[in-house]
Every structure is written in C-alpha cells, then in structure tokens.
Structure 1
Amino acid sequence: MSPSPDVVVVGGGVVGAAVAYYLSLEGARVQILERQALGSGCSFHGTGMVISNLRETQSKGPAFAINRASRNLIGGVCGQLAEETGTDTLYQERPMLLMATSESELAQRKADMQWVSQRGVQVRWLERDEVLALEPRTSPMVLGAVYEEGTAQVDGYRLTLAFAAAAEKRGATVRQREVVGLEWEGSRVTGVRTPTETVPCDAVVLAMGASAGAASEWVGFPVPVRPLKGQILRLRLPGKPLDYFVNLLELGTIVPRGDGLTSIGTSYEETDDPQPTEDFKLRVLSRGMEVLPCLDEAEVVEHLAGFRPLSADICPIIGPVPGWEGLHLAAGHGPWGIQLSPITGRLIADLVLRGETAEPLAMEHYLPARFEGFTPGPDSFRHLGWDD
C-alpha cells in the first residue's frame, strides 16, 4: 500500500498542477485529486496569453505586480518542463499590438502605455502608417497601437499536463476523485473526504478553480471567488499567420498559436450558462473584422466556453487559511490562471513547507487573511469593471 501523501492538492487545473510540481521539487509526497480530468476547466478554454499590460482598470496595483513576477518565470519553466517530460507547451514569444479604433480608445491606450512604461514594460506608440507597415492586412479604422515587447503565449492544457507529468516523475500521484469535505483534529487539517474514502495527509491545498467559493462552507472562512464565463474561438486563417498578437478593447486578443490555429476572444459574462453562444461568435468576429478584415474568410474550428475563478478584489488568493493549520488556498486567479501558475506554485510550496516566502512580493495583497470579516453581497464584485 502506498504511503499517505504529505500534501493533497484539490483541483487538477493548471494552478493545482503547478502547485503539485513545485511541492514535488522540494521532495514532498503529493497527490492531486481532480473530480474530472486534468486541465478540463478554464485551463483548457483559455487563450494562454502572458502579458504585462493588463486592462487599465485591473492592472494598476498588486495584480500587475504578481502577473509581472510570473511572466518573468514562465518561459524558463516551459523550457524545463519540455526537457523533463517531452511535452511541448507551444510556448512562444512575440510582440503585441494593442490597437485603438476610436479617439477614446486611443486616449486609454496612451494612458496605459505611460503607466506600464514607468514600471519597466517595453512599449512604444505606433501611428497608423507604422501599424500598416507591420501588418498590411490591418483595417484603415485603426488609429494607432501600442507596440509591446515581451508578450508570450502558451497552451494552458499542455502546460497543465506538463506540470502534472513532471510532478509524477518525482513521485506525485493523480486520482480522479471528487472532494466533498475536510477532516480535522482540533484546528489542524488531517485529510480530505471523497464520497468513498478519507485520504489522510499533513496539508491540503485547495486549488478548485471556479468552484473555490464552495470551500467557504468547509472552512468557515470567506473564499470570495465567483465563476466568470469566457468564450473564445479558434480559427484557421487564410494566408500566412499573423506575426503579432493583436489586442482589442472589448474583445481580448487575436492570438496566432503554435499549432497553426488563431484564437480570438475573450468575453466576461455574468451567467450560469456554460454553453458557447452564437451571439458571442457573431460579435467577436464582427469586432475582429473591424481591425483585420481577413477574418471574414476564416474557418471556425472550435468554439469554447468555460468559467474563470474571479476573486472579489481581482487578486489571487494564495496562502494559509486563518485559524487552521495545514490548510492553504490557491484560488481566484481570474483570467490569468495560466500566466500566474508558476508564481502560485512557488509561493504555495514556500508557505506549505517553510511558512514563509522569499519572493519579493507584498504578500498582504494575496493572503486569504485580507478577507477576514468579508461579507459577500450583490455589489461585492461590481467595482472591478468586468460588467462594462
């Protein structure tokens, strides 16, 4: 009989797999419990963009800092995982064009550019003629664009499998099980419960994606995470692939992928409906064609929808749950779970095994303790701007 794991990670998305990987690097015996299949949630449905220049309303603060820290890790991690597991995560780096098609968008782009350039992001402004010179298929509607260096993209599903495979090579196990609760002795977690068994362990990490809010009932502590629906299309474009990532306000990013397809999206929807919608497809293609008319001839290969785990203050929730020993959260990563997976894995490994981290981040912005006394209500998330 196999020995009990030191740590159980509840959730097998990209964040849970990254947590398992970094814990296993430290020699911990880890078991991932996932109720469906590895990477079957938003890790599969996301665009996988790795950027610094986030939407203006969400970027100016600690969300920017932690995304930037993880962006600096992910390229090296993908290379290491490829060596260890042979998995090609389709990681690629190329510049991004953040387009403006109206005077109001132009003003917002220039304001964002000034803010991120003051924080070390390599950006410059391109006039319309310069944009057309870089991408002749661009529509004359484009007034200009921010040219950003250092952007990248990775396939979230492949990255999830690579993290998990590398963890398994170090002794981690992956089981398809639904976790329905926790076991305690006093204030210390001693295991997790499934419908058929109890899995004993010394520590638990809840990395439950869009379902993380359900953990509030298990621990008696607020875990203010809600599901936010997003949709993307994967297209086959006529002619040669784009040389740049192309970002549009109110649309997301047009992404030339490493497998030859091009993804476009995403959306931010307040709905419980998990299905892709025809309305989104028509809207996103119409908006995309305003900038790249060649999308009119694109073939829709896949139309995907999923739910991202959005926290009440836009920042991920990473670290120990107050009042309990051995229980940690890795939750609320919003649309940036793929990008944030390396830094989350490193932070959780530090906090679980050493009780502290040397990462140069202001951890008070990410620890669960910031939500002590939080009472969710209908307006808890409204200030974040996702309903615009």
Structure 2
Amino acid sequence: MLEAKSDKISVVLGTCHGVETDQGSERGNRKVFGVKYAPRGETEEKMLAADAVVVSAGPWSCAAEDWFLGAVQLPMEGVKSTSIVWAKPKNEDVDATALFCGEDDRFGTHLEVYPRPDGTIYICGIGGSDYISTDELKAGAFREECNAKDTRAEAAKNSFQQMSSMYRTDGELDRVQACMRPCPPDAIPYMGAIPGYEGAYINAGHNCWGIAWAPACGKAMTELVMDGQSRSIDLTPFDPSRFTPAAQRGGRGRKKKGMSVGEQW
C-alpha cells in the first residue's frame, strides 16, 4: 500500500482487509475514505485514510470482491511459474539476442531466453506451472512466499544446455525463483472504476505483460483517477464489472466462473 503525504510517498506494508465508505455524492453510491489493514506481522486492524484507492495487487486483487460487497466480481487464476537466471560468464560476452523457443518435449519446456545488460540471462517458459484458484488467492495462497519448483528449474537448465555448449560446460545458475502470474478468464486485465463506488479503482490481471504494459497502464489509470476519464487509452474493453451480472453491478453478487485460457497467452 502507498500512502501519499504532501510531497512524498510512504510505503505501508500490510494485509488489506477492506475499505471504509460513506454516502457518496450520487444516490446509491458509496464514497471510499479509508483502507482497513493489518500491518505486516501484526493482527490488530488499522485504518489508512484515503481519497482514492487503486487495487493493484496482482493475482490477489480478486480479494476486492469481498471488500466492495459483491459490487464487482473478479475471477482470477494464478499461474505459479518457475524461472531461472544464469550467472554472467567469466570470460565470455553474452549476445544481446532474445530467444523464443518451440516446445522441447524432452524436458516439457518452451523456453524464453532474455539476456540482460549485466551479462546474466533470465529464462522463463519452463512449463509445469501450478494453477491457483480464485478462492485460494483470496485466502492469501503464496502471497508471502512463492517458491520455485526444483524439478522445473532442472528441466529448464538441461533444455538450455542442449542449445549452448558454453553453458553446458561452464554455466552456473545465479538463482532459481518463481512468480505468480494474474490471469482473468478472458485474458484481459481489469482496469477501471469499481461500479457503485466513488474513489475506488482496479488495475490488475496483466499476466506476464505487466512490466511491459506498466507505463501505458499507469498513465491511463492516473488520468482516470485525477480527471475522471482516461484520454490516452479506451478502457472500455477492460471493464472490471464485465463478469458481474448487469442487475447486480454496484450491489451484492455471486462469483461467476470463466473458462481457462491455459498457461500461454
């Protein structure tokens, strides 16, 4: 959570439990004026004052279904994916060329290889990811600790070493890691205002493209929050309430299940 204080930004670490609201300016609307949370390592709930709240917690953003009393339904699947990073070679330069490999049935991989300016190489597309349900994410699954799957890291290592004699003989792994990719059922992010609430927004569900899309999404959401409308991007396709039955938008509703689009999209 970020807390704005005059000319600076403060980072507040904790677990959000919901929002505080009051009567809005329009009939039936609620106005957000605070966030309920427990600081990291504590159980006592506190309140953080807020003029506007942007839910942007990756796959765990689906918990906002409960914070806004069913006004919006946010089905989400987490894809827990392992990745590896090769250490910089001692006496060799790394070619600045990304590789997008086909399926390697020997190891069950479809590697994506990204050289970095510091000489390390990041590799994803390892396959064998775990799929985490909306209910599990809402309960906080893997929020604090998201460990790699050792068998998939080994598969990625072996697959890449079949393509590079240098890494086969002298390569060393710098680290093995995992991330949780946020995947709405239609593969489209949630970006926009929460229906029935003033000062409440969401920007989540960008799968593995969040880093690449961040500048454009940040600009669009800033315009929406500050000016009431995004001028740079038409946010209509990203409507956060698209899975909410029309009769229940802005009110209580039940979760609607969607179809999985698989690990790659």
- The 2-side partners of 1:169 and 1:281 are apart by 45
- Matched letter for residue 245 of structure 1: A
Check conservation: 1:243, 1:256, Cα contact below 8 A.
Answer: yes
Which of the numbers 270, 293, 307 marks the counterpart of 2:130?
270
Query: Which contiguous aligned blocks of 4+ residues in structure 1 show a shift greater than 4 angstroms?
Result: none
- Going from structure 1 to structure 2, the CA distance change for 1:376 and 1:288 (only over 3 Å counts) comes to farther
SS at match of 1:217: helix
Where is the helix percentage greater, Structure 1 or Structure 2? 1
TM-score, with length taken from structure 1: 0.52
TM-score, with length taken from structure 2: 0.75
C-alpha displacement at 1:237, in angstroms? Answer: 5.3
C-alpha displacement at 1:347, in angstroms? Answer: 1.0
The runs of 5 or more residues in structure 2 that have no matched partner are 24-29, 39-44, 103-108, 133-141, 246-253
What are the within-5 Å matches in structure 2 for residues 366-377 of structure 1? 366-373=238-245, 375-377=255-257
Check conservation: 1:229, 1:267, Cα contact below 8 A.
Answer: no
- Matched letter for residue 263 of structure 2: W
- Going from structure 1 to structure 2, the CA distance change for 1:232 and 1:169 (only over 3 Å counts) comes to farther
1:291 aligns with 163
C-alpha displacement at 1:288, in angstroms? Answer: 2.0
| Residue 227 (str. 1) matches residue 78 (str. 2) | yes
Check conservation: 1:237, 1:295, Cα contact below 8 A.
Answer: no
| Residue 331 (str. 1) matches residue 204 (str. 2) | yes
1:175 aligns with 12
- Matched letter for residue 236 of structure 1: A
1:247 aligns with 100
- The 2-side partners of 1:341 and 1:327 are apart by 19
What are the within-5 Å matches in structure 2 for residues 140-151 of structure 1? none
SS at match of 2:99: strand
| Residue 206 (str. 1) matches residue 55 (str. 2) | yes
- The 2-side partners of 1:346 and 1:235 are apart by 34
Residues matched between the structures, number:
221
The runs of 5 or more residues in structure 1 that have no matched partner are 1-9, 11-29, 33-167
2:120 aligns with 261
- Matched letter for residue 100 of structure 2: N
C-alpha displacement at 1:210, in angstroms? Answer: 2.0
- Going from structure 1 to structure 2, the CA distance change for 1:280 and 1:173 (only over 3 Å counts) comes to same
Check conservation: 1:320, 1:328, Cα contact below 8 A.
Answer: yes
Check conservation: 2:96, 2:116, Cα contact below 8 A.
Answer: no
- The 2-side partners of 1:347 and 1:267 are apart by 32
Q: Deviations along 1:210-238, whole A, 9 cap, x unmatched?
A: 21111111111211222111111111254
Where is the strand percentage greater, Structure 1 or Structure 2? 2
- Matched letter for residue 182 of structure 1: V
- The 2-side partners of 1:183 and 1:245 are apart by 47
Check conservation: 2:84, 2:176, Cα contact below 8 A.
Answer: yes
C-alpha displacement at 1:209, in angstroms? Answer: 1.3
- The 2-side partners of 1:218 and 1:255 are apart by 38
Check conservation: 2:73, 2:241, Cα contact below 8 A.
Answer: no
SS at match of 1:336: helix
| Residue 310 (str. 1) matches residue 183 (str. 2) | yes
Q: Deviations along 1:283-342, whole A, 9 cap, x unmatched?
A: 212322343343313101100112111122112111101121110001101111111111
- The 1-side partners of 2:255 and 2:131 are apart by 22
CA RMSD of aligned residues (A): 2.5
1:97 aligns with none
- Matched letter for residue 202 of structure 1: D
SS at match of 1:370: coil
Which of the numbers 344, 362, 365 marks the counterpart of 2:237?
365
C-alpha displacement at 1:387, in angstroms? Answer: 7.2
